[in-house]
Amino acid sequence: MKKILLLCLSLMLSYGAIAQETSAGEKRAQIEKAKKERVAKEKKAKAKKEAEVAKEKMEATAKKEATKAKATKEKTDARAKVADKKAKETKETADKLKADKAKSDKAKAAAKAKAAKAKENSASATGAAKSAAGKAKAAGNKAEAAAKTETSKAVAKTKVKKKTPAEIKEDVKETPASKAAEKKVADKVTGTYNGKKVFTGPRGGRYYINKNGNKTYISDDK
């Protein structure tokens, strides 16, 4: 009986220890679960915060890039505007220079044409004056030549010495001297006189080459 009591007491103690152990295990499990939940919650909060920080950082970076891009665009637009203005001014200057050059060229062409016309008129007047002077000179030369011709004829008549038929016959003989002299005469042959060629000089005098190779003038009625 005593053994039975001891056994029952032992069993009761064992059950109590087991119950205590079970209760302690459950408590530990609850603590572990609570710890895991807290860690998970902390990780989730940390991840959320990191995500928010990353988002804020990305937004800040995007905003910064957008501001930079806007500033760059404004700067580029300003440069383009300045370049357009400069190009417009350059074109206006070039157009003005072109117009001025065209005006200058037109004025030069007009002046050149005027000068050419004046020169032409001057040349025409000079030509007319020269022509008149030439005509007057030609008339004077003609008159002078006519006078000289008349004088030559008169001189030739005075030079003509009447010869006897015997003297004429002797004078018109062909000799080597007369032949050689006739070949050198440049005046035109205008007739014959007792078988000799009669030449007419530039002043109207008529002559033949005598036996001595000299000129013998004859009157116009021969």
How far apart, in whole angstroms, are the C-alpha atoms of residue 176 and residue 211?
A: 8
The per-residue pLDDT for 146 is: 62
**77: three-class secondary structure by DSSP:** helix
Q: Kindly report the average pLDDT of the chain as a whole number.
A: 84
Tens of pLDDT, residues 116-134: 887 887 667 677 778 877 8
Question: Is 60 exceeded by the pLDDT of residue 210?
Answer: yes
pLDDT in tens, 17-65: 776 777 778 888 899 999 999 999 999 999 999 999 999 999 999 899 9
CB 172 within 8 A of CB 213: no
* Most confident of the ranges 71-75, 134-138, 148-152: 71-75
Confidence of residue 143 (pLDDT cuts 50, 70, 90): low
> Does the pLDDT of residue 158 top 50, yes or no?
no
Across 157-174, average pLDDT:
77
pLDDT of res. 138: 84
pLDDT at 156 over 60: no
Using CA atoms, how far apart are residues 221 and 193, in angstroms rounded to an integer?
Answer: 11
Q: What is the reported pLDDT for 152? A: 55
| 175: helix, strand or coil | coil
The pLDDT, as a whole number, for residue 1 is: 73
* Spatial separation of the C-alpha atoms in residues 73 and 28, rounded to whole Å: 65
Residue 173 has pLDDT above 80, yes or no: yes
Mean pLDDT confidence for 101-113: 89
Stated pTM of the model: 0.31
The answer, yes or no, to whether residue 6 has pLDDT greater than 80, is yes
Residue 219 has pLDDT above 90, yes or no: no
Q: Work out the average pLDDT over 127-148.
A: 75
Share above pLDDT 70 across residues of the chain, in percent, rounded to a whole number: 88
Q: What's the pLDDT score for residue 217? A: 93
- Output the pLDDT for position 82: 87
Q: Which residues have CB under 8 Å from 151's CB, separation 6+?
A: 203
Structure tokens at 204: 């109207």
